[in-house]
A and B are shown apart, each in its own frame.
Chain A
Amino acid sequence: MTLTIILVCAAVLLALGPLAVALRHSRAVTQLVYGASMVASAVSFAAAIAHLLGAAAPESITLPVGVPWLGAHLRNDALSAFFLLVVDLGAMSASLFALGYGQHETASGRVLPFYPAFLAGMMLVVLADDAYTFLLSWEFMSLMSWALVMSHHRVPENVRAGYVYLVMASFGTLTLLLAFGLLAGSDGLYTFAQMRAAHPSAALGALVLILALIGAGSKAGLVPLHVWLPLAHPAAPSHVSALMSGVMTKVAVYGFVRIVFDLAGEPAWWWSMLVLAFAGVTTVMGVLYALMQHDLKRLLAYHTVENIGIIFIGLALAFKTHGMVFASALALTAALLHVFNHSLFKSLLFFGAGAVLTATGKRDMEHLGGLIHRMPQTAFAFLIGCVAISALPPLNGFVSEWLTFQAILLSPQLPVWGLKLLIPAVGALLALSAALAAACFVKVYGVTFLGRPRTSAAERAKETDSFSLAAMFFLAALCLVAGILPGLFIDALAPVSSALIGAHMPAQTSTQWLSIVPIAASRSSYDGLLVFLFMVISGTLAASAIHRFASNRLRRAPAWDCGYPDASPTTQYTAMSFAQPIRRVFGTVVFRAREHGDMPPPGSTRPARLTVELHDLIWETLYAPLAVGIGFAADRLNHLQFLTIRQFLSLVFGALVILLLVLAVWP
């Protein structure tokens, strides 16, 4: 029943695309498309929640579309229902945001037809139950998001972003195609049910893991396959960036979980190590890249890379080896909870960036400042997003981080030596990335919203419309609820981990004061509600006591600044200067960061210049040589176009001979 409702919603979303094209000259088309998308995703969200919370049995349906003898198999089980929930929540809030933001869109003819199709594509990937449907929906989703990235196609960096995105997406789909081909075997069984029944050998499972890690990992943003993400996510309109960062990367995580946990058979002892190594590097590299940025949206895109690393750390610890099912269930729940939490606060942050972009026309933090006075509500919602993503109590980012730490603390019982050495190192990297993320968001909030306005655009900013604010406050409220009542969300994930691993975390409904107890009460527990209440009570107690018994007078004066105030707002710290200590500590090694000061000779009146040189070592060592090599090979192969007629005929003859030989030798 719920599956039919969800499919109807997906069909509605698919129909909205052509409708947007047909009605493109009407003035109400923006409101119509986004409003209808919001309603359709809301209905689908309700159906997904009903399925997940009701712990219903998996539902399947086979539609007579697609490949004639196969049809399209679609299935809604606990894992699909959870990811559908994430997709639909993101879609709902993005559509609500776009009801206001879409009014300012200049290229709406290039955005409106593809937006509902993008939503439908993501929903269909999560519901697919055979390889064809999965890959078709995956490619459809990539293509629709590519069209949205290219919506402002006159900007040259958007064109480059779209090109890199297309190449990486095609490469990812190729590896997934190979993975499904290996799983299907030589009999051509392409449905997931048949793949589950056929147990792959260890070598096959290993190959499938590596291919899935490359394919799904490149879409999710694992280092070193993340290079398209910071180019493509900022290029799209802000609500689409929020969907790509907050939701599409989670669909990629779904792909990885489905292939590796459900279809690839028994995990080997070294699978955790491989995924853990990549995930640890991704976490730290993502946040270090983000610290060097001063473009708001690029910074947020790099943070997505970091959080995907955190999710994959949890997934790596969730492999059910050596029979430690409770540890695996804890790690899987931590990873999936972070999937949900990240989609919430990343969407919130992108909406804030979109609001700032609409109000000031600028994405570069170095041109902003003081927006807390001009856009107070956006500033408040953005602050909640910053606190949540920095993993600070009592909000939700802290809960998933805490659960991941608890999963790491259970790992010494694993008998594998490589894991014993790798897991503490990855734990240190995780802690490092959490601290660096907090540093980065102090920079983002402080430079963009606090301080004094650095340009006239920031001085004249106006608050955004109520739809955008409603979407941001809705997500901020959810961040608070998920931080204060995490037990509800952990219990909702129990059917998912039961289905994938066979065990789930202990029920959190019977704990005292709604705390969460991941393993046992004697071991560790955390009560978000009580921490929040204590903070509120002690803060208000202190405020009222001081205002009552001490002074409550206040007067305004010019800033003290140690007696040397400077009227120019350019003397305050910028994003690059704020990150300078960290750039000096970490960046000299990781980015070969160098600062060159160019002093004018005495007597010259030209200004001194400070240049910061940063190298993207992954691009320079991996992609640039690859591009050069492919260009070289393409140049050589180009000569095939200019052969004489005799050479062409001999080529054809040679190919025929080889094929006949192969046919003769093949058993």
Chain B
Amino acid sequence: MALTLDLTVQCAQMLLVLLLAPLFTGFARKVKARLLRRQGPSPIQPYRDLARLMRKDVVLAENASWLFRVIPYLIFAATWVAASLVPTFRTGLLFSWSADLIAIIALLGSGRFFLALAGLDVGTSFGGIGSSREVMIASLAEPAMIMIVFTLALIAGSTQLSTMAEFMASPEVGLRVSLGLALIALIMVAIAENARIPVDNPATHLELTMVHEAMVLEYSGRHLALIELSASLKLILYVSVIACLFAPWGLAPAGAGVEALAIGVTTYILKLAVGGFLLTLFETSIAKMRVFRVPEFLGVALMLGLLATLLRFVSGSF
């Protein structure tokens, strides 16, 4: 009985992130438009876009390989598996012990590896520009993320996200300098990894300002739909990680009843709304950086993460 409930909750989690991801992207676009005094598209427009793309033919370049066709499914699989393991409304998911936070980051890393390969597959210069910039950004964002994971793991005593979230919700956590540094670094890394302003512009149509959009330039139809869905899933994954670690109030503990789960879902949706609003506010108030300012931006995140880890190594009270 408890097993079926756990299994239902895990499946519900998987479907929830999948269904909410386009809505979150649409909500962020709507808020950005309103902040810029435009009407903006409806928040459910991404659903319509995905449905439209799914119905269309795929137009493949003549020299695209089998890898180019398989990569959207690989990226979607890796991102969806990673997103299913993040506690959004309840900790202690049925399979949360199979991959800890390091494994989740590495799964997102596999998605990025294959996306960069897809950029190089057709042999155009735009794909090359996207892939080379993406791996430069990743080479700094990933170590920063690992240092953040180290800091949080040293505070919480585990690398499992569920255990970390439960620890952060408990009264033992206290206000720590290293947690503050880790939060700032995590926000910077999340912005870089999800190709948001100031690192990359998700709405650009200028090729030389693209990183993510340049890699997927040759994709069309259902492949493009899957890649856009994976990008939305990645964004909602990062917002959920920040929410469950730094705003864990309302998370239902493992084995909770239906009312706790309902409260968990409602607080999660509220957290997403607040997170989307804050993200869009930040994006609207800052300009996109030149490409070679991004390493300095991420270097700051890496140094903050390193400093936070160092503080944890040096003393247990930081």
- Interface on A for B, CB 8 Å cutoff? 369-370, 372-373, 376, 383, 387, 390-393, 398, 402, 405-406, 408-409, 411-412, 420-421, 423-425, 427-428, 431-432, 434-436, 438-439, 441-443, 445-447, 450-452, 512-513, 515, 521-527, 530-531, 534-536, 538-539, 542-543, 546, 550-562, 565-566, 569, 571-573, 577-582, 584-585
B169 interface contact, C-beta 8 A: no
B125 contacts across to A, CB distance below 8 A:
561, 566, 571-573
Q: Are A402 and B163 in contact (CB-based, < 8 A)?
A: no
Expressed in whole angstroms, the minimum distance between the Cβ of B229 and any Cβ of chain A is 9
Bound state CA distance, A538 and B54, in angstroms? 17
Whole-angstrom CA separation of A579 from B129 in the bound complex = 10
A-B pairs, 9 with minimum CB distance: A573-B128, A446-B120, A451-B123, A550-B54, A539-B77, A439-B135, A527-B98, A581-B136, A431-B146
Cα of A566 to Cα of B113 in the assembled complex, Å: 26
Question: Is B313 among interface residues, defined by CB-CB distance under 8 A?
Answer: yes
Query: Is A513 a contact of B98 with CB atoms below 8 Å?
Result: yes
Chain B: interface residue total (CB-CB under 8 A): 87
Given contacts A427-B146, A523-B159, contact A557 B59 (CB under 8 A): yes
Measured CA separation A434–B102 after assembly (Å): 12
B148 to chain A, nearest CB (A): 10
Q: Given contacts A555-B60, A556-B62, is CB(A424)–CB(B310) below 8 Å? A: yes
Residue pair B63, A425 in contact (C-beta under 8 Å) = no
Q: Assess whether B99 is interfacial by the CB under 8 Å rule.
A: yes
Q: Is B106 an interface residue (CB 8 A)?
A: yes
- A438 x B99 contact (CB < 8 A): no
A524 surroundings in chain B (CB, below 8 A): 100, 153, 158-160
Instruction: Check A392–B106 contact: CB distance below 8 A.
Output: yes
CB distance from B282 to the nearest CB of A (A): 24
Do A425 and B103 contact each other (CB < 8 Å), given the known contacts A372-B67, A451-B120, A525-B160? Answer: no
Q: Is B57 within 8 A of A555, CB to CB?
A: yes
Per-residue interface assignment for chain B, residues 290 to 318, with 1 indicating a CB less than 8 Å from any chain A CB and 0 otherwise: 01100100000010011001101110100
- B108 nearest CB across to chain A (Å): 10
Which residue in chain B gives the minimum CB-CB distance to A546? B222
Could you tell me if A527 and B110 are in contact, using CB atoms closer than 8 angstroms? no
Minimum Cβ distance to chain B for residue A572 (Å) = 4
Partner of B61, one of A408, A530, A535, A559: A559
Residue among B143, B295, B314 with max Cβ neighbours from chain A (10 Å): B143
Nearest residue (CB) in A for B138 is A435
Q: Which of B74, B113, B117, B132 contacts A581 (CB 8 A)?
A: B132
Query: A residues within 8 A CB of B295?
Result: 585
Known: A373-B65, A531-B103, A557-B61. 12 other contacts (CB 8 A): A369-B123, A412-B154, A427-B150, A432-B140, A438-B112, A452-B63, A524-B160, A551-B55, A551-B221, A561-B217, A581-B292, A582-B135
Q: How far is the CA of A539 from the CA of B69 in the complex (A)?
A: 12
CA–CA, A387 and B110, complex, Å: 8
Complex CA distance for A391 and B106, rounded to whole angstroms: 8
In the complex, A373→B61 CA distance in Å?
A: 14
Residues of A within 8 A of B55 (CB): 550-551
8 Å CB contacts to A: which residues of B116-164? 116-117, 119-129, 131-133, 135-136, 138-143, 146-147, 150, 153-154, 157-160, 163
Contact at B113–A555, with CB atoms within 8 Å?
no
Do the beta carbons of A409 and B62 come within 8 Å of each other? no
